[in-house]
Structure 1
Amino acid sequence: MLVPRRQSLVPRSRNQCSSQRGVAAVEFAIVAPVFFLLVIGFIELGRGLMVQQILTNASRVGAREAIGLHSTTAKVEEMVTEYAEGASVAGINIEISPSPATAKAGDEITVTVSVPYADVTWVPSPWFMTGDLEAESTMRKEGFE
């Protein structure tokens, strides 16, 4: 009958313990930069998606304001800017086509909101997400003519 061998209760030598700690330090030095890069990348991707959703909602707010009967370009820009800045996104560019004041009932009014990604990133120099984030909403002018 085989009897399982008991492990020795004698502690390991100091040389064995310190070499294992050295191996762990080297493994951490190799894995840590990749891990932190992935974490920062996920955070940046999440931030980009959040800003994109804010721009979509801001363009929708602007389009809803633009289709009103007595709407003006200035009022639409004010509403879009107020929404975006309320969500901590500043420096947006707004395009409204055609002007809400001159559009006739039934005309489509498009509000486009964009912001350079460099203005909303939390990383000092973004290298994987460049260009502009943009959202567009189109609605028909209200009224009868």
Structure 2
Amino acid sequence: MTPTRTVSAEADVNLETWTPCKDGSTLTTHQFRLHRPCRLYRSKRTGAAVVEFAIVAPLFFLLVFGMIEYGRMVMVQQVITNASREGARRAVLDGTTTSEVVAAVEEFLDQASVNGPNLQVRVTPDPPGTAENGDPVGVTISVPFSDVSWIPSPMYLGGTTLEAKTVMRREGIK
């Protein structure tokens, strides 16, 4: 067993045997020699961390972008449901034309920044003013999700068509 020697704070220390570390602490020359292999091992571990990140990062980003796109799909579905409801409320009024209903739906969708080249608005009956009191009046909105997606790739829900339909009964004033 080798005897150990402790150095108190007040003792004079030979500066030739001490080597400063990056963190401000000091090591003896003997400790420094033992510390070098650890530093070499650490640099090899850094390379392993880069490889692990390269493997995990694409999967992580795929999952994150999938969650964002699914959230966008739910939001757009809610917006077109509300737009069809607004269109149906307009359609049950006396003397309403199909173009007025479509304009009300498109205005609602523009305010929510949901618009696409393939957006379809169907009103039944067409024109809605021909419906008798008590007859159902419906507004159906459909849009391909690829038209409103934030990610241009069809990888996430690309072939899905979002559709919302609202039917209200036409009631007249007597």
TM-score w.r.t. length of structure 1: 0.89
Q: Which residue of 2 aligns with 1:124?
A: 152
C-alpha displacement at 1:122, in angstroms? 1.0
C-alpha displacement at 1:131, in angstroms? 2.8
Matched, 1:93 2:120: yes
RMSD of the alignment, in Å?
1.6
Work out the number of aligned pairs and report it.
Answer: 138
Partners of 1:96 and 1:73 lie apart in 2 by 7
Matched, 1:75 2:100: yes
Gapped regions of structure 1 (runs ≥ 5): 1-7
Q: Is the 8 A contact 1:105 1:144 kept in 2?
A: no
TM-score w.r.t. length of structure 2: 0.74
Which residue identity is paired with 2:125?
P
Matched, 1:11 2:38: no
1:108 maps to which of 136, 140, 143: 136
C-alpha change, 1:28 and 1:72, in structure 2 (3 Å) is same
Q: Secondary structure at the match of 1:101?
A: helix
Structure with greater Cα Rg: 2
C-alpha displacement at 1:17, in angstroms? 1.1
Q: Which residue of 1 aligns with 2:8?
A: none
Gapped regions of structure 2 (runs ≥ 5): 1-30
Q: Secondary structure at the match of 2:35?
A: coil
Deviations 1:23-73 (A, max 9, x none): 111111111000000000000001111100000000000000001112111
Which residue identity is paired with 1:86?
Q
* Structure with larger RCO (C-alpha < 8 A, sep 6+): 1
Q: Secondary structure at the match of 1:123?
A: coil
C-alpha displacement at 1:144, in angstroms? 5.4
Q: Is the 8 A contact 2:142 2:164 kept in 1?
A: yes
Q: Is the 8 A contact 1:93 1:115 kept in 2?
A: yes
